Amino acid sequence: MVVSTEKMDGIVSMSRADLTAEVEPGVITGELKRRASEMGLFYPPDPASSEFSSIGGNISENAGGLRAIKYGSTSNYVLGLEVVLPTGAILWLGRHTHKGVVGYSLKDLFIGSEGTLGIITRAVLRLIPMPRTTSVLLVTYSDASASASAVKGILGTGILPSALEFMDRASLSAVSAYRGTEVFGEKAGSALLIEVDGTEEETGKAIEKIRAACREGAVSMEVSHGPEAEGLWSARRAISPALAKIRPFKLNEDVVVPLSKLPELVSGVDRIAGEMDLRYANFGHAGDGNIHVNLLYDEKDGGEHERALRAVDMVFDLVIRLGGTISGEHGVGITKLAYITKELSPAAHELMRGIKRLVDPNNIMNPGKAL
């Protein structure tokens, strides 16, 4: 049996006074963001899939996105949830207020639970005032290692960008081929897309400090505003579908490492792809260490899929050695199920399974997934 909440797509209420929105799970993230902006409000979680991903799905995966570096992931904006348990019981978890510590935070048990504990039927979300202005700085470098190394200098300025995105050469080339025009410059071997927000004076000063931090080794630097900046973000969001220009299939792993380990991750993936004779593309949220490692393959090319699967295993081993995690926002589902013991201890895994048995004793909610 498949249960869909797709048509539960109502925005029940939105309050400028309370800085909250109450929504049904089928509301599309981008639509919520637009409705909030019409009231001068901002819903910060910003997955690249915001134009078609739903709030219920975002909560079930604890979606991150482009602006998690400054504003956090979906879990930072969920105040309360209505959920239906496998038993049929309807629970209200959390609250409408911005603070509250009565009892265990049970709502957080359902955030990121991948539909294994219950069905989300309503959510109360925290909103914030819309930033007055934003500025975007595009910095290109000759290679991926230079971009990865520059992240430390950017964060060392003391300024926290609202977004700090990394794209390697393959990602940039795929987008240009997908769009039919050169988007990031012919000489770009990698790029950082950096956004700052605040007052006009604040963003101006922040951009200049970040420009100074990025200057060493940079091929080009360009500041954008308004529609021009949105065009760059649109290109960034197009990377994932654009990769089909290189190979028709991909294994997209959203790994996370400590910020200081980004250069080691980038060079390690390059080494692994070379050993496995695979094409690959790295892009993602460099500001919080969350890189989408895409191992590309063609099923018609004998052995390429099997080599890609072996490469995934090697990438996960590398990530764990670097002190990272094998999933920052995509979850486990069934594709990562075989790998979770690389990260979870037997005791932690059993505790999670115990919670699952307690809430869903008959194992009817997404059986065989996540745990």
Q: Which domains does the chain have, with CATH numbers?
A: 11-129 (3.30.465.10), 133-237 (3.30.70.2190), 241-342 (3.30.70.2740)
Contact status, residue 25 vs residue 56, Cβ threshold 8 Å: yes
Give residue 323's pLDDT: 98
**Alpha carbon 371 to chain centroid, angstroms:** 21
**How does pLDDT run across 1-43, given as a tens digit for each residue?**
999 999 999 999 999 999 999 999 999 999 999 999 999 999 9
* Rounded Cα distance, 326 and 247, in Å: 23
**How does pLDDT run across 322-348, given as a tens digit for each residue?**
999 999 998 999 999 999 999 999 999
As a whole number of Å, the end-to-end CA separation of the chain is 20
**How does pLDDT run across 211-257, given as a tens digit for each residue?**
999 999 999 999 999 999 999 999 999 999 999 999 999 999 999 99
Tokens of 91: 């629970």
* Confidence check: pLDDT of 183 > 90: no
In 3D space, the residue among 74, 76, 79 whose CA is nearest the CA of residue 93 turns out to be: 79
**How does pLDDT run across 123-178, given as a tens digit for each residue?**
999 999 999 999 999 999 999 999 999 999 999 999 999 999 999 999 999 999 99
* Rounded Cα distance, 49 and 176, in Å: 20
* Confidence check: pLDDT of 201 > 90: yes
* Confidence check: pLDDT of 187 > 90: no
Give residue 301's pLDDT: 85
* Confidence check: pLDDT of 181 > 90: no
The rounded radius of gyration (Å) of the Cα atoms in the chain is 21
Q: Is the dihedral of CA 185, 186, 188, 189 positive or negative?
A: positive
**CB-hemisphere CA count at 13 Å for 334?**
3
Q: What are phi and psi of 15, to 5 degrees?
A: -120, 120
**How does pLDDT run across 277-300, given as a tens digit for each residue?**
999 999 999 999 999 999 999 988
* Confidence check: pLDDT of 182 > 90: no
* Confidence check: pLDDT of 180 > 90: no
Give residue 239's pLDDT: 94
3-state secondary structure 160-225: CCCEEEEEEHHHHHHHHHHHCCCCCCCCCCEEEEEEEEECHHHHHHHHHHHHHHHCCCEEEEEEEC
Give residue 130's pLDDT: 96
Give residue 371's pLDDT: 87
Report the alpha-carbon angle 81-351-109, nearest 5: 10
Region at 71 (left for phi over 0; alpha for psi -120 to 50; beta for the rest):
alpha
Contact status, residue 36 vs residue 43, Cβ threshold 8 Å: yes
Cβ-Cβ contacts under 8 Å for 21 (sequence gap 6 or more): 11, 13, 14, 15, 32, 35, 36, 43, 124, 125, 127
In 3D space, the residue among 142, 199, 165 whose CA is nearest the CA of residue 284 turns out to be: 165
* Rounded Cα distance, 311 and 281, in Å: 13
Residue type, 164: L
* Rounded Cα distance, 78 and 108, in Å: 9
Q: What is the mean pLDDT of the chain?
A: 95
Given pLDDT bands bounded at 50, 70 and 90, which one contains residue 75? very high
Q: What are phi and psi of 123, to 5 degrees?
A: -145, 140
